[in-house]
Structure 1
Amino acid sequence: MGLDRHALSLPALGVLALLAGWLAFQAFREPSVPETIETAERPRYHLDGARWWRYGDGGEPVFEAQAAGIDYYDDASMELTEIRLSTHGAARRGSWQLSAARGSVPPAQKRIELKPEVRIDGQPQDQPSISIVTPTLWADWGTQLLTTDDPVVAQSPGRRLSAIGLRADWAGERVQFLSQVESRYVPIR
């Protein structure tokens, strides 16, 4: 029994014609978004006009924050807007009031980065009140430290100080300006 070559080519031509028609039809459809392009991650929660209190292991307040908005993500990161944060030092000996337009908490960390211009107001222990401005600042509630490696300008009655970098404890007992410190004393009238 021999195979008829014309009998095989007719079904094969039919399959090719269907395939060509399908490909032509695909050219007229809207292009789909490639699977490699990821859409922006959406927050799991969004809070407007939020107040956030953090307490230590013994139930003592560590900080209080207010934000116009907080976006909370699956990886435990957060994005905050219009932030006002007050630290509470041990035994409430001192505190800082911080404010910034934005803040970010990295995934599963115990610190917030404030930016783009951070204002810090407080009264360090045994010192006059002080106001500090810096482009960015980390407020770490795990270590209870405020830190930046950026330029800072500090003002208090009768003096003005500029420096690069700052380390301060939560209660304002210790404030350290790291490098290129320049201070000017102005007589108080």
Structure 2
Amino acid sequence: MSWRTGLGLLLVAALVSGWSAWRMRGRDAPTAAQAQRSDYVLRDFELVVLGKDGAESVRLQAPQLQRSREDRSLDIATPLFLVPAEQGPWRLRADRGWVSPEADRVRLDGNVAGDSDPAAGMPTSFRTTRLELLPDQDLARTDQPVELRQPGIIQTGTGLQANLKSRQYRLLSKVRTRYEPSARR
């Protein structure tokens, strides 16, 4: 091999490494949240949580759940929570869910939908962007705008406190009510 060939190979290697470094310059290092690893990941699962009395407290279905290694909280993709009630379970859906390490608080974020059992005497539904669920107290609450629907009535307001077991609802402010009586047959 001549010195010209060696110099040519060295020049090509320098150009390739310089080009590679130039392409990598715009990429950021992974953030701490991206670098954090999960203790475990569940995929396509159904989980039943029992209360202190041994009765079913809540049932969860989702395509993915990750448990944080640092604080033991759970991050859930598109969760469906089924909360038992005397008149049939409540169905609570959202884009994301988070469960506290003690599992005493659930936060639902993005397109939150709550629907009572349709077979119940008065089906009820609500829509909001964020909801906090306290399963031990059968309480759901938010400080965000909410739309609450029952047969013949639509209520909107800011903030909601709902006892899912007793089916008592309270809109906290800016409440507007619209009655829609059913048509006579």
What code does the residue aligned with 2:142 have? Answer: T
Q: Is the 8 A contact 1:123 1:172 kept in 2?
A: no
Aligned to 2:43: 48
Matched, 1:136 2:127: no
Whole-Å Cα distance in 1 between the matches of residues 151 and 168 of structure 2? 19
Offset from partner CA, 1:104-152 (integer Å, 9 cap, x none): 123435111111110000169x962111100000111232210101000
Matched, 1:153 2:110: no
Aligned to 2:170: 176
| Identity score, percent | 28
Whole-Å Cα distance in 1 between the matches of residues 132 and 171 of structure 2? 15
Whole-Å Cα distance in 1 between the matches of residues 90 and 56 of structure 2? 13
Q: What TM-score do you get using the length of structure 2 for normalisation?
A: 0.74
Matched, 1:68 2:72: no
Aligned to 1:120: 114
Given candidates 63, 80, 83, the residue that maps to 2:79 is: 83
Whole-Å Cα distance in 2 between the matches of residues 185 and 142 of structure 1? 34
Question: What is the CA-CA distance between 1:50 and the residue it aligns to?
Answer: 1.5
Whole-Å Cα distance in 2 between the matches of residues 173 and 85 of structure 1? 17
Gaps of 5+ in 1: 1-29, 31-36
The structure whose Rg is larger is 1
> Which segments of structure 1 move beyond 4 Å, counting only runs of 4 or more?
none
Q: Is the 8 A contact 2:87 2:117 kept in 1?
A: no
> Does the residue aligned with 2:95 lie in a helix, a strand or coil?
strand
Q: Is the 8 A contact 2:39 2:68 kept in 1?
A: yes
Whole-Å Cα distance in 2 between the matches of residues 80 and 161 of structure 1? 30
CA-based RMSD of the aligned residues comes to 2.2
- The total of aligned residue pairs comes to 151
Residues 123 and 164 from structure 1, CA distance in 2 versus in 1: closer, same or farther, beyond 3 angstroms?
farther
Whole-Å Cα distance in 1 between the matches of residues 163 and 98 of structure 2? 20
Given candidates 157, 160, 185, the residue that maps to 1:166 is: 160
